[in-house]
Each structure stands twice: as structure tokens, then as C-alpha cells.
Amino acid sequence: MATGHYARITRDEVSGRYLLKKARDRDKDQSYVLYTMTQEHLAHTQFPLGEMTKSEVRQLAASLGFVNARKRDSQDICFVPQGDYADFILRHTGKSYPEGDFIDRDGRVLGRHRGIIHYTIGQRRGLGLSFPEPMYVCAIDPAANTVTLGREVELYTRILTAGDLNLIALSRIETPLRLKAKNRYRQAEQWATVMQTGADTLRLEFDEPQRAVTKGQAVVLYDGDTVVGGGTIRS
């Protein structure tokens, strides 16, 4: 299968494993969202754009007479009109997301929120409350229907755990590895020590505290331009 993603696939001559690598165009690299690919997937996939820059792709498309050669780049999630994610979730899940409590770290009620789908970790604007100092969304608890607010310093952490682990460059992390990791698509990679703690779980400790690490997001591990693997953040 050929896809339009910006990434590359090579094969290691020693281990025989297929490797997922960053695209040549680092501004368009999509390896972060492809970390769940398995050896079987990689063996049957080609990324024809991986060795090209976006400008080269546009030039090629123009030379072939493609009408979308100069089409503007899509922003964020292209199928969500005007970036209204809450409305998209409401329309496609058919579920209701009732109001609930804003609370602080000690469980004290600070006010009412509009429904948990309207908030993301690290958010400051649009809370509808006034405080003596800036307050940020630090946690969201769907079961209790609460949104925890706190100061910006409370958004930072050095340690995370992840599950649903998928390793590409190796079969298992036998001993702690020094790798770079990113827990958001547009985040710069950060040095960390990574240890596999179970069949599909890992523990990661960043060298420096990271802002707004979010449960449910992906954490992806890199060794240079090679994707070692990744998992879903649990805590």
C-alpha cells in the first residue's frame, strides 16, 4: 500500500526488521502518528513522499497538471469545520456531556464547567471564571465529571507511564534506554530514560519536567530519526 504520509521506511540489514523513520521534510514529518505500525504493516507499505519536501511535491503535482498542486495546507484536523471539536464530538457520538464542577487539587469546588469535552489539559482561556492568578486545566475526570484547575507549575511532570506499547525498532526494551520522546505531535523531542515494565507497558522519566502531559495522548520514542515505538499515556 502506498500512502501520502511524510515518513520513510527502511530495513535493517542486521536484524532484518523494518524501520519507521522521520521524513526528509522535518516540518511535515508524520512519524509521530504512525508509531502503531507493525512489522507486517511496514512490509506492505510505501511512503513515496518521505524523501521529498512539500515544495518538491507541489512542483511535481503542478508539472503533472494536478488541480490541487497549489491547494492550501490543511490546519489541525481537516474534517472538523472551524475547529469546533466539541460540536464534532456531540454530533458523532450522540452522547450528552452535562455540566459539572471545576475543582482544585484538594477537591474544593471552584465553579461549574460546561461539559468535559470543552476542555483540554493546559487550557487557560474560556474557563468562564475569574481568579487572582492565571488558572489552568490540570486534570479531567470523566467518571466524576470534574475538571481540576491549578497554577501553571502544577502542569509539569517528569514521569509518565504508558500502555498499549508498540515497538518497531526492537522487540523489547530489556534495559533502561536513553531515548528522545515527544508526547504531542508538534512538541520538540526531549531526552528521557525509558524502561519497559510489562508486556505492553513502559515507564518514562524526562530529564526536564514537561508541560501538560495528557492521559490518552501518544508518547513516541526516537533514536535519532528512527521511531523506536510508542504507547498511550496512562498517568
- Nine-digit cell at 176? 533502561
Q: Which pLDDT value is given to residue 73?
A: 72
CA–CA distance from 180 to each of 85, 188, 214 (Å)? 30, 9, 18
Determine contact, residues 226/19, Cβ cutoff 8 Å.
yes
Q: What is the arithmetic mean of pLDDT over 66-88? A: 72
Q: Which helix (DSSP H) or strand (DSSP E) does residue 179 occupy?
A: strand 177-182
Q: Which domains does the chain have, with CATH numbers?
A: 7-63 (no CATH), 81-150 (2.30.30.280), 155-233 (2.40.30.10)
pLDDT, residue 5, reads: 85
- What are the pLDDT digits (tens) for 26-47? 889 999 999 999 999 999 999 9
Say what the pLDDT of residue 78 is: 66
> In the chain, how long is the greatest CA-to-CA distance?
63
Whole-structure pTM value: 0.88
- Going by pLDDT thresholds of 50, 70 and 90, the confidence category of residue 200 is very high
**Which among 211, 222, 202, 233 has a CA at the least distance from the CA of 29?**
222
pLDDT greater than 80 at residue 72: no
Alpha carbons 54 and 97: distance in angstroms, whole number:
40
> What is the rounded CA–CA span in Å between residue 233 and residue 201?
10
Pairing relationship of beta strands 146-150 and 100-103 according to DSSP bridges = parallel
Contact indicator for 188, 209 with CB cutoff of 8 Å: no
Residue 74 pLDDT greater than 80, yes or no = no
State the average pLDDT for the chain. 91
Distance (Å) of CA 215 to CA 70, 114, 190: 37, 21, 18
Q: Are 65 and 23 in contact (CB under 8 A)?
A: no
Q: How far apart are CA 177 and CA 41, in angstroms?
A: 25
- CA distances 79 to 76, 87, 142, 185, 216, Å, are 9, 12, 25, 18, 21
- Is 23:34 a contact under the CB 8 Å cutoff? no
